[in-house]
Amino acid sequence: MPTTDLDPGAAALGRKCVKCESPGILSGIDAKKAVYCRPCFVQMVKHKFRSALGKRRVYKDGASKETLLVFDGSPAAALALGQLVESKRETDHRKLMIEPTVLLTLETTDPERAGRILQRYAEIGAKLAEPGIGIPFRIAHIAAGLQKNIELRVDSGEQYIGKEQIAIYERLLSAMQSTTARSEMTRLFGELLAARFAAATGIDKIWLPRTGDDLSKDVVSFFSLGKGAHTSSLISVSERRLGVNFLRPMHDIGDKEVALLNRLEGYDERYETPDCREPLPPASIHLVAANFIDMLQREGYTATTSTLLASTAKIVDGSAKAQEYCRICGSPATQKEKNSAALLCYPCRRLREECSEKTLFDQALCS
Amino acid sequence: MPGKSTPRIPKNYEIAPGVLRFSSTRLALPKVGATKVKKVGGSKNGGERKVVENKGPRLFPQIRQSAAVEGGDLAKTKLRKTITPGTVLIILAGKHKGKRVIFLKQLAKSGLLLVTGPMRLNNTPLRRIAQAFVIATKTKIDVSGVKLPANLDDAYFRRVKSKTRKTKEGENIFASGKQEYEVTDQRKADQKTVDTAILAALKKNPDYKFLRGYLGSRFSIQKGQFPHKLGVDMPIACSTEACTSSATIKRARDGDPVCTACFTHRFEEDVHETISSTSLFKRGERVAIGASGGKDSTVLAYAMKRHDYGLELILLSIDEGIKGYRDDSLKSVERNKIEYQLPLTILSYKDLYGWSMDEIVAKIGKKNNCTFCGVFRRQALDRGSYKLGCTKLVTGHNADDIAETVLMNLLRGDVARLERCTNICTGEDGGSLPRAKPLKYSYEKDIVMYARVNKLEYFYTECIYAPNAYRNFARDYIKKLERVRPRAILDIIISGESVAIRKEVAMPVLGNCSRCNYISSQKLCKACLLIEGLNTDNLQLGTKKKATTTSAQKTGCKSEGEPCECRGDQDGVTVENNNSGNDDAIDRCQDSLNDLNCSTSTRKKKPISFEATDSEATAQDNKACGCDNDGGAAKIDF
């Protein structure tokens, strides 16, 4: 497909690239703001990716360079992986001086689907293992997040970590009384897996593949779940929680920019894994929030994402400074939220109330 | 005992028109009974076959046959006891499946039921239907005064088969085309006659308002539900402890099934809990109730009268001057005044500002009118309250309203408002008249139900000038959220209550308007600005932003997202929005005097990222006339 056809809206404007004199054929979410030629667009998005980390001096001042990339097969994860691979090639100017490890994650419990995804992961793994790149990787099911100390060794014949925990994981999800609670549990498991895997491998920093659009939808769903106070940290570029630094380098990049860059650089063919992420369940807050943001952008409110992220960045937790942290998600929790099992923040306490097997919940997550 | 001369009928006979004794699924099941092996002929048939020994008789005596078939006798077609003229029936099959219709009479010859929608309510015409295909509800309409045309019998409804003539050789058999069914004039006239009578009977019913909706709605069941178990045989007990009544209402707030009395009691207790836990009032205070005649203000006034708070309550209503809307809702307020025995003061825009909304809309058109209405109403309520010597103003903002406002402030980037919009009482810092929201945790659905249960009369028509405001998006989201997870509305409020603003974010400084002395963060308050614009024919004053390139060159701001007026968005580089101190860059972006300022917007700094114009943003602040479908005069900016 010719580049001019990738973004017809931008091409139709007939304007010049804002950085050079070439025709502007690509743009971000709002073509009326700025259009770019192909090379400038690629440079712009890559610059956004790298400056998100550079501005916060995450790898400066003697900080550890080891980084774990949580790869879930999404376009954002493909872009992040593509950037990592680029940084490893000796021919390129190595701007990202990091030592990456990739954690390929599985969400599905359907053996057939898991088989297809593992096959794709094997292809990706082969690319990562090529000489000149040599990025170590592991595959894990998010159920492995149930392990307090993740066992990195995998039994022979098993392709991924966490297969033994899938039964408990399924049982826990079935015990949740609403699709929203299940969705939220899945998200928490993903975070726990990343944090515990990083702790087991001695890695301090985790890249999460969340774009600006994903984070804006998270803002709305977090507010709808009562997490308002913690939202600012949960969507920020850099956040310290559960003993690790969660980084979101694509904080300022939209889905459209990710999709275009992946197409232009070939990351979609090389790394994207279709059908990898579970679709948002119907009748859940997450889907309603996602549809809401998409609808606003379709209606012409293209600044919705940037406004949400900007306003969330200005807010903090207004309650008394917390001395302790939630046992599950690691967010600050005040004393008054203490329950009999463990100290939980308000949203996690609500989650526990929706579980019909509280003993299992406590054993799995609160102990 | 059937004899040889008794007529016989097949084993699979009709038990009702179109309903056979055995379904095709049942017939396809393997035959049961003792089997024997029988030799069969034919080289390709396997030689032998297993057959059931005793298949039973092929024909049955006709005495088993139901009389409810065409050509049967009415005397033998027994009508179920639950089906009487005027009963609301639910149709279970056919084109009108799920619709609720009214039974008129049983047709003589066929024994079928004659029903009608009425047509105007649910598009169901006069029809015959078998009683096997309906569920009889307990709802009955008094149709004793309804005289049906005498020609409504089986012959009237019999389908007329078009005579097909033999086509000659070579003639095109499709020449005549498809014969579409046409409703005859006789049918139309009869339908009109019957429906007019039925609608007149419906209007006489005290529950007419609800029957309209009931008959217009469709019946359905979900997985796990059975028609025979729908609350009739298995009543649900009221969830209140020590209450033995059956539950008739499900509370929207917590989903608890409760009886009517407990619903009222718990709703009032929730409101009382909100008031007492936050020490909202002091005994002896003079409190104005912003009364629009809508459901929220009506319920608020009623609920506040139920408890003795030691307050002197006054109803304060604002007449925006909207013919066909506000004049009707004011009648509702007048009724409240009489019913609740509260003094009522009505202030009008015309008296306060010299302009009514009708005049304003005639001048500016139907765009931006909510900006004017909301700004004026807020100030009018404050002025009215001061004039009456009140120390506090209460409004009927409910949980849904507050959740929408939290979401809107988040979407607009108005963090200053976000911080205070969930406060149960605003303005207590001395800046303006304190405003309280006792219905803060009450769901809109519960308020409607409370009004219905207590037979409170309120006005429920949308403002005729209500545009497609941005708030409608937020409202739509809240409604969808409520369907998925009702608790989410309270969770949004809790989220809003738990946030604070970072210290480094600049907040507006409040002063007074130089003209009217009303609270304002600018030299002129918004109301004065808008009036100035109306009087000088400068209709953009106060409603449109003006770009200032001078400030753009000075500040060199790189605002997040939206093209900031002080810089052209050239390179798409976004501002860091945490821990980097670039909030100052946003704060430096100043608007001209034509900004969202005054009491309705205490933002000194423009929310650059939001695309809406001033008018939309102000309209969003002020949940304006009728946007909430309740004529909420009190529903404006916090």
Residue B347, min C-alpha distance to chain A (Å)? 37
Predicted confidence at residue A189, as pLDDT, reads 93
Q: Which of B400, B408, B410 to mutate against chain A (most A CBs within 10 Å)?
A: B410
pLDDT higher than 60, residue B487: yes
- Given A18, A310, A346, which is nearest B577 (Cβ)? A310
pLDDT number for residue B597? 35
Q: Which of A167, A24, A292, A313 is nearest to B561 (CA)?
A: A313
Contacts of A301 in chain B (CB under 8 A): 611-612
The predicted pLDDT at position A197 comes to: 93
Q: Tell me how close the Cα of B520 comes to any Cα of chain A, in angstroms.
A: 23
Element (H, E) at B614: helix B614-621
Which residues on neighbouring strands pair with residue B91, listed in sequence order?
A: B134
Cβ-defined contact of A314 to B576 (cutoff 8 Å): no
pLDDT value at residue B626: 36
CA A174 to each of CA A120, A171, A189, A361, B14: distance values in angstroms, whole numbers, following the listed order: 28, 5, 15, 11, 46
- Determine how β-strand A137-141 pairs with β-strand A238-241: unpaired
Query: Could you tell me which residues come within 8 angstroms of residue B583 by beta carbon, excluding any fewer than 6 positions away?
Result: A314, B502, B504, B505, B506, B577
pLDDT in tens, A156-195: 667 888 888 999 999 998 888 889 999 999 999 999 999 9
- Give tens-digit pLDDT for A251-299: 999 999 999 999 999 999 889 988 777 778 778 999 999 999 999 999 8
CA distances for B69 relative to B110, B134, B446, B537, angstroms:
7, 17, 49, 78
> Closest approach of chain B CAs to the CA of A160, in angstroms?
35
State the DSSP H helix or E strand holding residue B155, giving kind and residue range, or none if neither.
helix B154-157
pLDDT exceeds cutoff 70 at A101: yes
- For residue B542, how many other CB atoms are within 10 A of its CB? 30
- Residue B583 pLDDT: 34
Q: Percentage of residues in chain B with pLDDT exceeding 90?
A: 28
pLDDT at residue B268, rounded to an integer:
94
Integer Cα distance of A112 and A103 in angstroms: 21
Work out the average pLDDT over B60-79. Answer: 56
Pick among A178, A245, A311, A350 to test the B interface (most B CBs inside 10 A) = A311
Please compute Rg for chain B using Cα positions: 35
Residue with tokens 């991924």: A160
Contacts B494 to A, Cβ<8 Å: 226, 228, 346
Please report, for residues B167, B195, B359, the alpha-carbon distance to residue B187 in angstroms, rounded to integers and kept in the order given: 32, 12, 49
Which of the 8 DSSP states describes residue B237? B
Q: Are B561 and A283 a contacting pair at CB < 8 A?
A: no
Please give the backbone phi and psi of residue A227, each rounded to the nearest 5 degrees, phi first: -95, 15
First to last CA, chain B: 85
Q: Do B574 and A252 touch (CB under 8 A)?
A: yes
How confident is residue A154, by pLDDT bands cut at 50, 70 and 90?
Answer: low
Residues of A in contact with B576 (CB under 8 A): 55-56, 237
Residue pairs between chains A and B whose CB atoms are closer than 8 Å? 167
Nearest Cα residue in chain A from B404: A224
pLDDT tier at B603, thresholds 50, 70, 90: very low
Whether the Cβ atoms of residue A79 and residue A49 lie closer than 8 Å to each other: yes
Q: What is the pLDDT of residues A190-223, one digit of tens each?
A: 999 999 999 999 999 999 999 999 999 999 999 9
CA distance B211 to A326: 51
Give the minimum alpha-carbon distance from B602 to chain A in angstroms, rounded to a whole number.
16
Length of chain B: 638
Nearest-CA distance A90 → chain B (Å): 28
- Spatial distance between the Cα atoms of B593 and B503, rounded to a whole number of angstroms: 26
Closest chain B residue to A232 measured between Cα atoms? Answer: B578
State whether A313 and B577 contact (CB < 8 Å): yes
Residues 216-275 of A with CB under 8 A from B: 219-220, 222-229, 231-232, 236-238, 252
What CA–CA distance (Å, rounded) separates A218 from A312?
11
**Alpha carbons B408 and B401: distance in angstroms, whole number:** 10
Taking a C-beta distance cutoff of 8 angstroms, is the pair B501, B507 a contact?
A: yes
Q: Are A315 and B576 inside 8 Å of each other by CB?
A: no
Q: Is the pLDDT of residue B575 over 50?
A: no
Q: How far is A296 from chain B (nearest CA, A)?
A: 8
Is residue B584 predicted with pLDDT exceeding 50? no
pLDDT, position B258: 92
pLDDT band at A7 (very low <50, low <70, confident <90, very high): confident
Give the whole-angstrom CA distance, residue A148 versus residue A146: 6
Taking an 8 Å cut-off on Cβ atoms, the answer to whether B415 and A296 are in contact is: no
Q: Do A237 and B496 touch (CB under 8 A)?
A: no
Higher pLDDT, B621 or B611: B621
Residue with tokens 């309740």: B630
Tokens at B395, concatenated: 């409004």
